[in-house]
Amino acid sequence: MLDARYLRENLDTVEARLKSRGEGVNIALFRELDGRRRELLQQSETLKALRNKVTEEISRLKDKSQGDERKLQMREVSQQIKGIDESLKAVEEELQAFLLTVPNIPHPTTPLGKSELDNVVVRTWGDEPELNFAPKPHWEIGEQLGILDFERGAKLAGARFTLYRGAGARLERALINFMLDLHTEQHKYIEMLPPFMVNRECMTGTGQLPKFEEDLFHLEGVDFFLIPTAEVPVTNIHRGEILKGSELPISYVAHTPCFRKEAGSYGKDTRGLIRQHQFNKVELVKFTAPDRSYEELQILLGHAEEVLRRLNIRYRVVELCTGDIGFSSAKTFDIEVWLPGQNCYREISSCSCFEDFQARRAGIRFRPEEKAKPEFVHTLNGSGLAVGRTVVAVLENYQQADGSVLIPEALRPYMGGLERIS
RNA sequence: GGAGAGCUGGCCGAGUAGGUCGAAGGCGCUCGCCUGCUAAGCGAGUAUACUGGGAAACCGGUAUCGAGGGUUCGAAUCCCUCGCUCUCCGCCA
């Protein structure tokens, strides 16, 4: 959410910069609501000041009957206040509803562009595997090895659900443990295991609501949502809190399943593990002081990249353009992993700086100094990594001519020493 | 699911025959004094948001005692609804 006061004072700039996302802002609506709000607020507060004053006078009267006349007047005033406050509440709700649908302002360095076609490749790491045969897509490898069962996954739940079997299930679990150990032991993140369903406040805090409700699974009977990413519960850990400046940056890592309806992506990536309704992800989340956030973004990105380096899988880092960054993001780098079976790069991580956008929605602040005024923190997060897609990358990059798959060395300790799935 | 207790400032904790309570007191913290150092001691200060004025320092107003509503001239204090925490019983992984 943008700061109403900032918006009031910088309407034109904000409008121009949101335009680069391909988003229009209803400036006239904002002006009107904001103006009406302040007008009503002043009316209400003036009357309340009067009432408080008279009320205090009444309380000081020794002869109680003397106050009767003023009580009658104040009854009138209270009625007026009530009426004004009702209008005020309505206006504030409208204003809030409006502000919650305005996306974040892209960082000035975020490349201008309309779609993913305008994203910028920042760097590429690693080599393509030398495969002197026609590489297969992971769904063929997985089915032939009997470690991925798409048909039975569909039987259990439906399309976009997969049953992992044997070494496949183990591989998923190995990757989760490998990533968590890397981030906690080497990168010094604190491991968290949050609830997998959250309330509406959390979803609003990180920006999924109110605009993207159709992408979320909602439970029947209770107002809970299944989390689409650990970003939601983990960022909301500090919702409504004032942190100490000295404890920043705070770095959390969490593995959770993620649940997404994938509405609007019918027919896309229908084969294999790429686009599932449920998938595992290891997520990195940081809370930082505003002046450190972009440094921390580079660090966080590096931590996510490190997973693929250790697995020795080729990837590239892409900087998303203004037209492609997410609703809450000011700047985003995607990590795209090379998939020989599909002869393309696929997103495996998305690392973003949200500046104070989520912090303002969720009320996450810090005191720079012991007695200083609280300021909003900056929040960041990135996948470190999407586990299902990492399985895809391992299967496709480590496949052998005979249909077996080598286990990357870094993973072998997590696979009970297994060197090859065959 | 049943019965009960509770939710006050960074923390602990007063405060119900409604009035001067943003809220005693303590701890913590900050600054100053004192003191070879530290500790102890002494003094002062120590919430947040919105809003008006001001270049600013700052000054004023309003709101906030889990959340929302009600009664009242006036509510931390009374009434209602909801949330959360805790204890006991039942059920269950």
pLDDT digits (tens, 9 = 90+) for A384-406: 999 999 999 999 999 999 999 99
For strand B, is any atom closer than 7 Å to the CB of A115? Answer: no
Q: What is the crossing angle of helices A138-145 and A167-181, to 10°?
A: 120
Contact criterion met (CB below 8 Å) for A254 and A282: yes
Q: What is the mean pLDDT of chain A?
A: 93
Contact criterion met (CB below 8 Å) for A387 and A307: no
Q: Which nucleotide across the nucleic acid strands is nearest to A375, CA versus C1'? A: B48
For strand B, is any atom closer than 7 Å to the CB of A79? Answer: no
Q: What is the mean pLDDT of the segment spanning A208-223?
A: 89
Residues 131-160 of A with CB under 7 A from strand B: none
| Virtual torsion, Cα A261, A221, A204, A293, nearest 10 deg | -70
Angstrom CA distances, A312 to A130, A190, A344, stand at 13, 25, 17
Is residue A105 very low, low, confident or very high in pLDDT (cuts 50, 70, 90)?
Answer: very high
What is the set of active-site residues of A? 260, 275, 347, 350, 389
Strands A250-259 and A190-192: parallel
- CA A291 to chain CA centroid, Å, is 21
For strand B, is any atom closer than 7 Å to the CB of A66? Answer: no
CA of A38 to C1' of B74 (A): 26
For strand B, is any atom closer than 7 Å to the CB of A11? Answer: no
- 3-class secondary structure, A127: coil
For strand B, is any atom closer than 7 Å to the CB of A245? Answer: no
Contact criterion met (CB below 8 Å) for A198 and A232: yes
Joined tokens for residue A237: 């850990």
CA of A45 to C1' of B63 (A): 9
For strand B, is any atom closer than 7 Å to the CB of A244? Answer: no
Alpha-carbon Rg for chain A, nearest whole angstrom, is: 27
Q: Which nucleotide across the nucleic acid strands is nearest to A72, CA versus C1'? A: B73
Check pLDDT > 80 for residue A219.
Answer: yes
pLDDT (tens digit, 9 = 90+) per residue, A256-306?
Answer: 999 999 988 887 888 999 999 999 999 999 999 999 999 999 999 999 999
Is residue A62 very low, low, confident or very high in pLDDT (cuts 50, 70, 90)?
Answer: low
Q: What is d(CA A228, CA A110) in angstroms, rounded to the nearest whole number? A: 25
CA of A85 to C1' of B69 (A): 14
pLDDT (tens digit, 9 = 90+) per residue, A352-377?
Answer: 999 999 999 998 988 887 777 888 99
Q: Where are the alpha helices (DSSP H) in A312-399?
A: 357-362, 387-397
CA of A45 to C1' of B61 (A): 7
Instruction: Give the sign of the dihedral formed by CA A392, CA A393, CA A395, CA A397.
Output: positive
Give ipTM to 2 decimals. 0.88
